[in-house]
Structure 1
């Protein structure tokens, strides 16, 4: 995904866009949980919600933050246990290009 999916929000409601951006910065700042772990949690949630593009983006960011493919797959084991097989199909579509 090359285009910012929130571009339409930014163009039409700058205040909302800034609120979302600030929330993202707060959620993903280094703190008690390392960034890598936060990204893996977010990846699991996006897989649970069927967000293929979100899983793809978060997997790339997690790898950049030091996550291994094995850590991503381990995250998906927990995701599957909690959210079911649909989350795995979402993740498979998202990871196909990245892991091939």
Structure 2
């Protein structure tokens, strides 16, 4: 996995890093939706926002949480339907080294 994008905050502003980590842990913890589903949602959102590195990191995280390549693909179908073809190009760029 790539270097932590928030690493710069270890020295610059450790408090903001901690806040972001706490928000991530809160957002992705198991609840009414399992963590895997929440990660797939975040991946689809990153695809819709043009975040190639986010798609890559979250797809990898989803796989580690037990998501299949079919589940990853279907989550991305939703982003492509709702947000358009740009999501498909972002997702493809993010996934090409993963699959």
Q: CA deviation at 1:15?
A: 1.2
User: 1:51-83 CA deviation, whole Å, 9 max, x = no partner?
Assistant: 111100110111111111111111111111111
Give the Cα separation in 2 of the matches to 1:61 and 1:20: 17
Q: Which residue of 2 aligns with 1:83?
A: 83
* Matching of residues 39-54 of structure 1 within 5 Å: 39-54=39-54
Size of the aligned set, in residue pairs, is 99
Matched residue, 1:2: 2
Q: Distance in 2 between matches of 1:46 and 1:10?
A: 24
- In structure 1, list runs of 5 or more residues that go unmatched: none
Gaps of 5+ in 2: none
Matched position secondary structure for 1:66: coil
The residue that corresponds to 2:98 in the other structure is 98
Counterpart contact for 1:80–1:87, Cα < 8 Å = yes
Separation in structure 1 between the aligned mates of residue 11 and residue 46 of structure 2, nearest angstrom: 25
Paired residues of 1:10 and 1:16 also in contact (CA < 8 A):
no
User: Map of 1:9-28 to 2, 5 A cutoff?
Assistant: 9-28=9-28
**Which structure is higher in helix share?**
1
**Residue matched to 1:55:** 55
**Cα RMSD for the two superposed structures:** 1.0
Cα distance between partner residues in 2 of 1:50 and 1:15: 28
Quote how far apart the aligned CAs of 1:10 are. 2.5
Instruction: Give yes or no for contact 1:42–1:58 (8 Å, CA) kept in 2.
Output: yes
